């Protein structure tokens, strides 16, 4: 009977302690992964002010950049410093709207921007699409901080067909 009691206590103890041990392990693992991720601070000790990185320049070549996937909003290939997009004005539209593209030779905003969420066409750019920078952004002349392993659909399909041919 005594042995049984001891066994019960021991098993309870194990049950109680194991989650703590587990969480401790998990914390340790988290810390390692956190430290291995490249941050803007570059593992500078917390009590030291890091020398700030050089601010990269905005790419201003006016050459269209490819899209990584079909539905990606195209990126802006020019600077947009002090372009006002607010209640009064939308500077982007002074080149990219339908009646300005002939003069500016800029790509016209697509018709989807004139649709409300029910698919009805409006006379002006839909309010939900008004703020260009919510989707379209300028690009910086900088190396990515974290490697991007994204593979797009077409590459995947190509891989699939080549591997199918091999078999």
Partner 1 sequence: MKNILMIGWRTLTKPSGYYSLGVLVIGGFIAGIIFWGGFNTALEVTNTEKFCISCHEMENNVYEELKTTIHFSNRSGVRATCPDCHVPHNWTDKIARKMKASKEVWGAIFGTINTREKFLVHRKRLAQNEWERLKANDSLECRNCHNFDYMDFTEQSERASYQHSTALASGEKTCIDCHKGIAHQLPDMKGVEGW
- Residue nearer to partner 1 on the CB measure, 97 or 126: 97
* Distance of closest approach, residue 103 Cβ to partner 1, in angstroms: 8
- Answer for the pair 32, 26: CB distance below 8 angstroms, yes or no: no
**132 exposure class (CB count in 10 Å sphere: 0-12, 13-18, 19+):** buried
Count of residues engaged in binding partner 1, rule: CB under 8 A: 11
* Distance of closest approach, residue 19 Cβ to partner 1, in angstroms: 54
138 binds partner 1 (CB under 8 A): no
- Answer for the pair 112, 50: CB distance below 8 angstroms, yes or no: no
* Distance of closest approach, residue 94 Cβ to partner 1, in angstroms: 5
Give me the 49-88 binding string for partner 1, x by CB under 8 A, dash otherwise.
-----------xxx---------------xx-xx-x---x
User: Whose structure tokens read 């490249």?
Assistant: 38
Q: Residue 110 has which token pair?
A: 């697509």
Cα dihedral value 124, 130, 133, 137, nearest 10: -30
* Residue 136 marked as a ligand binder: yes
- Answer for the pair 62, 77: CB distance below 8 angstroms, yes or no: yes
- Residue nearer to partner 1 on the CB measure, 81 or 167: 81
- Report helix, strand or coil for 94: helix
Among 11, 39, 72, 89, binds partner 1 (CB under 8 A): 89
Q: Which residues bind partner 1 (CB under 8 A)?
A: 60-62, 78-79, 81-82, 84, 88-89, 94
């Amino acid at each position: 009977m005594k042995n049984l009691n001891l066994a019960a206590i021991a098993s309870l103890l194990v049950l109680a302690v194991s989650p703590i041990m587990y969480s401790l392990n998990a914390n340790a693992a988290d810390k390692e992964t956190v430290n291995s991720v490249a941050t803007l601070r570059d593992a500078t000790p917390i009590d030291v002010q890091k020398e700030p990185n050089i601010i990269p320049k905005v790419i201003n070549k006016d050459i269209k950049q490819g899209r990584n996937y079909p539905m990606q909003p195209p990126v802006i290939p020019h600077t947009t410093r002090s372009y006002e997009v607010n209640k009064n004005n939308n500077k982007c539209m002074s080149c990219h709207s339908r009646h300005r593209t002939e003069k500016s030779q800029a790509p016209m905003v697509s018709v989807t921007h004139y649709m409300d969420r029910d698919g009805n066409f409006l006379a002006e750019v839909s309010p939900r699409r008004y703020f260009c920078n919510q989707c379209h952004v300028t690009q910086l002349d900088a190396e990515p901080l974290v490697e991007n392993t994204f593979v797009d659909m077409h590459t995947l399909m190509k891989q699939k067909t080549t591997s199918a041919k091999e078999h």
